[in-house]
Amino acid sequence: MAANDPQFSDAGQSAPPPSVKSRVLLLSFSASVKERIRLALSGALDFVLCGEGDVHSYPIGRIALALPDVVMVEASPGDAVSTATIGAIRQLTSEIRIVAITTVDRPVVRQTLLSAGATDIVALSVADETLLSAIRRSASANTAANLARVRSELAHDVAGLLLPTDGLPLDALDREIAFHLGCGTDVPVIAERLRLPLRTIETRLKTLQLKLNLATGAQLIRFCVDYSERHRK
């Protein structure tokens, strides 16, 4: 890849002293998100944007050239590439702070991103004038404390799904799978989260479709999305 390719831009190769500014590498797939982050960081005295690229194609090995203190990664629900990128960065080093940027701030989404290796989450629903504060707070967050908190929130959310009070012919596991799938969680992630074999989850989804008398997988997905929206706290 050519050094001047705008897709993989690095603003300088030498890191300033850490006491001056934290260097931020931005990996995003949305032009509007990139622009919001650029504007938020432009007036910051404690951050400097050292590079940016497309989260779906930025070479992980190139991160070492950008010398970032913080990597901001745009991630959408169900986007396995963004989640895998976060995991790959975390495997590369435990020192870099990884801030996931997402439009959907739900416990299941936060747990997925934190479990992958993110330090914290910044929800793009925040106002422009508070975005820098959210970035600053997330860049210095405690990953373990965040993950414990979001797991507690998720357990509270799911607890109300276990009793069949809505007349649907679903048991507790059906409901939990439907909830997670409706929130955009990938099937392999659901299996890992519930500590069940992937084949078990896949079989359950087929059985769930039969129980609900749905003709297609698309109808099942639509049901799960509606179900999760009705039962989300």
3 within some domain: no
Q: Cα(217)–Cα(223) distance, rounded to whole angstroms?
A: 10
Q: Order the strands of the 22-27 sheet from edge to edge.
A: 8-10, 47-53, 22-27, 70-74, 97-102, 120-123
209 within some domain: yes
Please check whether residue 86 is in contact with residue 143, taking contact to mean a CB–CB distance below 8 angstroms.
no
Lowest mean pLDDT among 144-158, 179-193, 211-225: 144-158
| Residue 170, domain extent | 161-231
Please check whether residue 166 is in contact with residue 196, taking contact to mean a CB–CB distance below 8 angstroms.
no
CATH code for the domain in which residue 62 is found = 3.40.50.2300
Total count of domains within the chain: 2
Half-sphere exposure (Cβ direction) of 83: Cα atoms closer than 13 Å: 18
Confidence (pTM): 0.59
Greater pLDDT, 155 or 79: 79
Cβ burial of 101 (10 Å; 0-12, 13-18, 19+) is: buried
Model pLDDT for residues 27-76, shown as the tens digit of each residue? 998 899 999 999 999 878 889 999 999 988 888 888 878 888 999 999 87
Looking at the fold, whether 100 and 212 belong to one and the same domain comes out as no
Model pLDDT for residues 119-173, shown as the tens digit of each residue? 888 888 888 888 889 898 888 877 666 656 655 655 554 444 444 445 567 778 8
